[in-house]
Structure 1
Amino acid sequence: MVEGVHVGWDRIRECFSLDPAIAYLNHGARGAVPIAVQRAQQRLRDEGETNPIRYFRDLPERIAHTRRFLAAFLGAEPEGSALVGNTTIGAAIVLRSLGLRSGDEVLMTDHRYGAIAFTAERECRRTGATVRTVGVPLDAGDDEATATIAKALRPGRTRLLIVDQISSPTARLFPVEKIVAAAREREVPVLVDAAHVPGMLPVSVDAIGADFWVGNLHKWAYAPRGTALLSVGPRWRERIDPLAVSWQQHSGYPARVEWQGTLDYTPWLAAPTGLFVLRTLGVQRVRAHNADLAAYGQRVVGAALGLTPEQLPDPGSPEVAMRILPLPAGVATTFEAAEELPRRIEEELAAVVGVMSWSGRGWLRLCGQVYNRRDDYDRLAERLPAFLRRLR
């Protein structure tokens, strides 16, 4: 039992508040918070209303304690880490703190997450710097991906390389350790966007060696939404400033980043309960289950769409719990179409999926999570081909 909720594997879906009429196959988008974690967060909200002055007075130390716990899970130095709302906020903090100037550039791959790209573009507009994108083939191996990115670096001009550890639009695992090492040789700082890593993959943030690393715990680590960890290398910490200054500014990093006045900090404080749920279920069992399901879903839906195994993109590791497959030509090739299609699939097929427009083509993204079973993907595979034919 976890907080009074049965967590037996045969009834695990009961640990979530998901609509039983819908196959929720896009966990990577927003996550789904276990009921036990929801309850823990609500108790924290209730506590805050009993004596708000005392509650907020004690919060800095409670936040620091939570940060140390979460950082240990991720293999990150606690004093080099800060809790933030999400990876996009973490990236914005890093970009604002760099001191970009005219003539500088930020380099990203074409696998980057859209909101991170918007954030970089805004900061570059503000400072006169530029954003440049390097294309990495979807089927590139680790060595090719590393070499392609390294070749695109321009030492002295490239002030930051932003690279995904697991890309959102393409569900691709990048060899970030190799990429960071190559960038270090060229004296280019690296920000690793690890939005999907915490909970999905084992990770040692410090071993990666990136100047900056930020990952969400509200996707695959069962934390409430609005929980992420930003890890900053030693030489950068005193330069890191929050987006808005508040009363812990004098305390230095990381407290000055974490403290943002009268915000709701209960997602952070409840995040350890999410890790407790994950460990109760069995970390390795959850990871294996999720990755196997995502691979199964890619195979069965791909076969229904007439795709051969060779046409199904390899995520770079069997541990990745997200997979993509190409949609028929002409389907969801624009951002607007890719935004609309999932709504229609949910309404007509009772399935929540991810749809991405990437490299001039539409892609379907499927995730695996403990509340999913094979028949979720089987039903989608049975109904999706006819649905897509009606779009033409």
Structure 2
Amino acid sequence: MIVEGYDRAVTADGTRPPEPVPGARLLFSLDPAVAYLNHGSFGAVPIGVQRAQQRIRDEADVNPMRFFQPGLVERVAHTRRHLAAFLGADPDGTALVGNATTGVATVLGSMRLSPGDEILHTDHGYGAVSLAVERECRRTGAVARTVPVPLGAGDQEIVAAVRAALRPGRTRLLVVDHITSPTARLLPVAAITATARAHDIAVLVDGAHVPGQLPVAVDAIGADFWVGNFHKWAYAPRGTAVLVVAQKWRDRIEPLVVSWEQPTGFPRSVEFQGTLDYSPWLAAPTGLFTLRTLGVEAVRAHNAALAAYGQRVVGAALGVPPDELPHPGGASVGMRLVPLPVGLVTDQREAHALRQRIADELAVEVAINAWRGQGLLRLSAQVYNRAEEFDRLARQLPAFLAGR
């Protein structure tokens, strides 16, 4: 059911939007005519970080030889140590990569799978990661299996579903999301990892949405591999991510491209790619400086509260009862889901088309996914957002969907 004539008010359960973070909106160069409610897809780079990155590009262009040799490798290592410390990860087991999917591809290519081996992943996984798993299975003769996990499953149910799907002796790798992309769920990755490791099954945690959004101690999770993007919630330039590898695997990691750092092994063999643009990585600490200046905990609390508010007002406008709005599984998650009317979106092609129409006709950026044939609208909240932007979407969306 879609509710006509929605008007802003405190939600029925008393949910109120948080107070804006003072001055935060001015830190970004986003188009003020667009309600950008989709920070989770590509992030948004603060102006100060953009300028820091440009200074590094200028430095490279003034004298490329001086920039690339001999100190670049150590500058990258210094950045890596800074980012690893923020995540609670061993810097010697952390490599900078272009994005989480690149880290996943690096792990898959280093597993040395054989026919009969198996990769297990859930049906909440990121599409490109699932495609990478399928490609590696085609290349090696391994088999990919999917564990179905209900959208509203609790932590114990999720762990039990994964445990039941493991096949010791066949399952070589379990791929599990820390925060899922299509369904915005925080999964109990430490408990899942412990379950798999008890059967000597390696675990790869896709933490693409974690850096900056959640407090995390990566090493304490106990996973064999962990990947995460800094360009989503940690204000780094796009193209900044990390691959964290447990000690036992480090000498087995093969980079996707061989470079002059190949003899030094992981992590430098993965990081150094000749004439790659290293400016996103070198500017990433400026992003963390911006986050810390705003207040890490204040930003997380604001984003989670505003996302919850947005979910409630948009859900109310579409006639979704509050108890049917999916919970993210954690209080700090800055992304929330609103189920769309049944039959509106049944596959990703329709999801992409609807997202584009909302962007073009309503000037609102959101994410829409088709999950198990159900359309899910994903809302992200960031410090540059205001409650009024979610209110505007709530006012406009019912009539828009009804008239499509």
1:348 corresponding residue in structure 2:
361
Letter in 2 for 1:70: L
CA displacement 1:287-334 (0-9 Å, x = unmatched): 000000100000000000001011100100111000011100111211
Partner SS state of residue 231, structure 1 = strand
Return the letter of the residue paired with 1:33. V
Deviation >2 Å, runs of 4+: 8-11
Separation in 2 of the partners of 1:336 and 1:355? 10
Matches within 5 A, 1:1-392: 9-57=21-69, 58-391=71-404
AA aligned to 2:49 is V
Which residue identity lines up with residue 244 of structure 1 in the other structure?
V
Deviation, 1:260, is 0.8
With the length of structure 2 as denominator, give the TM-score of the two structures.
0.94
Q: Give the aligned residue type for 1:300.
A: V
Please report how far the alpha carbon of residue 346 of structure 1 lies from its aligned counterpart in structure 2 after TM superposition: 1.0
Q: Secondary structure at the match of 1:10?
A: coil
Distance 1:199 1:298 in 2: 21
Contact 2:358 2:365 in 1 (8 A): yes
Identity %: 65
Paired letter, 1:26: N
What is the CA distance between 1:197 and its match in structure 2?
Answer: 0.2
Instruction: Give 1:390 shift.
Output: 1.3
Given residue 23 of structure 1, which amino acid in structure 2 is its aligned partner?
A: A
Looking at structure 2, the residues matched to 9 and 331 of structure 1 have their Cα atoms a distance apart, in angstroms, of 36
* 2:9 aligned residue: none
Q: Deviations over 1:27-50 (max 9, x none)?
A: 000000000000000000000112
Supply the AA of the counterpart residue of 1:11.
G
Q: Which has the higher contact order (CA 8 A, sep 6+)?
A: 2
How far is 1:11 from its partner? 3.1
Structure 2 residue ranges without an equivalent (≥5):
1-19
Instruction: Determine if contact 2:21/2:302 at 8 Å carries over to the other structure.
Output: no
Count residues in correspondence: 384
Q: Which amino acid aligns with 1:96?
A: G
SS of the aligned residue for 1:167 comes to coil
User: How far off its partner does 1:51 sit?
Assistant: 1.4
Give 1:361's aligned amino acid: Q
CA RMSD in angstroms, aligned pairs only: 0.8
Q: In the aligned structure 2, how far is the partner of 1:267 from the partner of 1:206?
A: 24
Q: Amino acid of the residue matched to residue 301 of structure 2?
A: A
